[in-house]
Amino acid sequence: MIVFYGSPMSSAGRTHWILEELGVPYEYKRISIRAGDNKKPEFLALNPGGKIPCIQDGDVTLTESMAINFYLAEKYGKDLMPADLAARAHVYEWSFWAISNVQPLFITILEHVMILPEAERNPKAIDKARQQIVPYLGFLDDALRGKEYLVGNHFTVGDVNVASVIGLGAMLGVDVSERPNVQAWLARVQARPAFAKSLD
């Protein structure tokens, strides 16, 4: 059985979501960063970096949510990872686009809205990040025109990875109403039962 180490409201959410999509048995061990669970010797023995998510699948121990999700999709859900090489490359492309370009901007907003002490929060950093997000949302909206999903027009791990990032922005009040294709796509993927289960 897969052992999944994670916590709500973190990048572990995208791994929780893919586990629910796959329907494979797993044990969920919650790791509280605030309580210092990730610094405890037993967790560091498993994962010296002390990061979540982390999974154990037999002899395989993996960290980094994108790597975990690709692994799980390839091993347990072939329909979530395209067999076609070009389509698979586009899944990687969209996933890395989201985590390297868009997620850091949302993290900046998150830090200055709720994580940093009040005295260290900078409204200008929030405004700058919000402005930088606009062209990325436009790019995604254009790519989704006439499509239900990102790659091959069927649901893949790429949709999970990208929606987990864009959904964070929506939670932070980033308005996607002017991006109708993004708005419809996000509503479509978040309506999946696996997404709702991953929020528990």
pLDDT digits (tens, 9 = 90+) for 32-87: 888 889 999 999 998 999 999 999 999 999 999 999 999 999 999 879 999 999 99
Q: Same structural domain for residues 63 and 94?
A: no
Residue-range definition of the domain harbouring residue 144:
82-198
Q: Same structural domain for residues 87 and 75?
A: no
Q: Which ranges of the chain does DSSP label H, i.e. alpha helix?
A: 12-22, 41-46, 65-76, 85-97, 103-110, 123-143, 157-171, 180-190, 193-198
Q: Same structural domain for residues 134 and 193?
A: yes
> Which H or E run contains 3?
strand 2-6
DSSP-derived letter for residue 177 is T
Q: Same structural domain for residues 88 and 176?
A: yes
Q: Same structural domain for residues 72 and 108?
A: no
Determine how many CB atoms are found less than 10 A away from the CB of residue 101.
Answer: 15
Q: Same structural domain for residues 75 and 49?
A: yes
CATH of the domain at 34: 3.40.30.10
Cα–Cα distance measured from residue 139 to residue 151, given in angstroms and rounded to the nearest whole number: 15
Phi, psi of 25 (to 5 degrees): -65, 135
Q: Same structural domain for residues 189 and 119?
A: yes
CATH of the domain at 95: 1.20.1050.10
Model's pTM, two decimal places?
Answer: 0.94
Q: What is the full per-residue pLDDT of the chain (200 aa) written as tens digits? A: 999 999 988 899 999 999 999 999 999 999 988 888 999 999 999 899 999 999 999 999 999 999 999 999 999 987 999 999 999 999 999 999 999 999 999 999 989 988 888 889 999 999 999 999 999 999 999 999 999 999 988 999 999 999 999 998 888 888 888 899 999 999 999 999 999 999 97
Q: 116, 130, 24: which is closest to 74 by C-alpha?
A: 24
Number of domains within the chain:
2
Q: Same structural domain for residues 86 and 125?
A: yes
Q: Same structural domain for residues 180 and 97?
A: yes
Residue recorded with tokens 């919000």? 130
Q: 6, 8, 4: which is closest to 171 by C-alpha?
A: 8
Cα–Cα distance measured from residue 77 to residue 157, given in angstroms and rounded to the nearest whole number: 9
Q: Same structural domain for residues 126 and 57?
A: no
